[in-house]
Amino acid sequence: MADRRTPLLTISGVTVRYGDHLALDRLDLTVHRDELFVLLGGSGSGKTTLLRAIGGFVRPQAGRILLDGADLSVLPPHRRPVNTMFQSYALFPHMTVAANIGFGLRQQGVGHAETRRRVEQMLALVRLEGFGTRRPAELSGGQQQRVALARSLAPQPRLLLLDEPFSALDENLRMETRAELVRLRRSLGISFVLVTHDQQEALTMADRIGVMRDGRMAQIGTPAVLYEQPADRFVAGFLGAANILTGIVAADGVTVLLPSLGAQVTAARPAAPGPALLALRSERLRIGGAGAPNGLDGIVTDIAYAGESLSVRVRMADGSELRVVRGLADGLASGAVAIGTPVRVGWEPDACILLPP
């Protein structure tokens, strides 16, 4: 296995402007060899533009895109050793599945017999043996998705770009396909850059995630780092829901005063003294946490049953609300606290995420 730390794709200062709109703003990014990098962002964040700039379909006004040290930005799409799996799959409707998968190989000058052999290999890889003579229109959505994947992998690109590859699949199939794609990528050793707006998808699949916002990288890191140590309020809110309270970090860096609640709590990781935001993940909070080092009193205002968990809203003295998610491992929902009950919400110091205001 290649070294994870070797850079494969280096993007520096890439700027793409559509009229007055700045789609990518002097963006820097390094994707390592043998990595599944996820570009996560809302619509208009520039994530798809970045993918298209790497693929060659968007020409940046400034900046460089290097693959293994060679400048890609001067090459037209058909000369770039990267392939794209399109969101709509873009399968050629007039060709058979085998001709679709073999298209890239034929362009590389691979002979008929060798193409046929490698198409068979790809079909086996995506578990579509025997489908080679079908037309794309005769396949289900999930099968089409696998053909699109096989087609983009067949020419053995150095980097595969995937644009929302699961968006057209239904929920159950999506879960299954995600896991399959991660396995497939590990076995092939090809680096993937995957674009999605789905934070769950990003967290479960990525080796590293780049959260994008307004054409810039808000934060880059592993899923755990982004989730547990988000850089700012935007990233904290984008990856998982978080309760946000306003506070002031004391001189010791770990004591946080919550003036509107007249309370103070302790964080595990020190932050710069001064005004700050305190983010608390719902699943790290407990109701009735009498023994917990940190705690706030409130009144239960709402209980929502979600099957595998219970979501409880607790209103604090200043009117703000905390959402507490309780897994049902400790008991069934029938034992839940009633609406209107005064409760104490408790948490550990390492559940405190301190963000700049």
Partner 1 sequence: MIFRRVMLAVPALWLLLMIGAPLAIVGLIAFAQPADGIPPYALGLSLDSLALVATDPLYRDALLRSLWVAGISTLICVLAGFPMALAISRAPARWQNVLLMAVMLPFWTGFLMRINAWIGILADDGWLVRLLGGHRLLFTDTAMYIGIVYTYLPFMVLPLYARLARLDPALMQAAADLGAPPRVVFARVILPLSMPGVAAGIGLVFIPAIGEYVIPALLGGPQAQLIGQVLWQEFFSNRDWPTAASVAVWLLMVLVAVPACVIGLGRLLFGRRLVAGQG
Instruction: Give the footprint of partner 1 on this chain (CB under 8 A).
Output: 55-57, 76-80, 83-84, 86, 88, 90-94, 103-104, 107-108, 135, 137, 151-152, 155
Distant-in-sequence, close-in-space partners of 52: CB < 8 Å, separation ≥ 6:
58
What residue type is assigned to position 164 of the chain?
E
CA–CA dist 354, 274 (Å, integer):
11
Q: How many CA atoms lie within 13 A of 302 on its CB side?
A: 10
Is the separation of the CB atoms in 129 and 123 below 8 Å? Answer: yes
Nearest Cα residue to 35 out of 143, 200, 193: 193
Q: Is 293 helix (H, G, I), strand (E, B) or coil?
A: coil
Measure the CA dihedral 101/105/110/112, to 10°. 20
Is the separation of the CB atoms in 56 and 72 below 8 Å? Answer: yes
* Kind plus residue range of the DSSP H or E element containing 315: strand 309-316
Maximum distance among all Cα pairs of the chain, rounded to whole angstroms? 77
CA–CA dist 301, 91 (Å, integer):
51
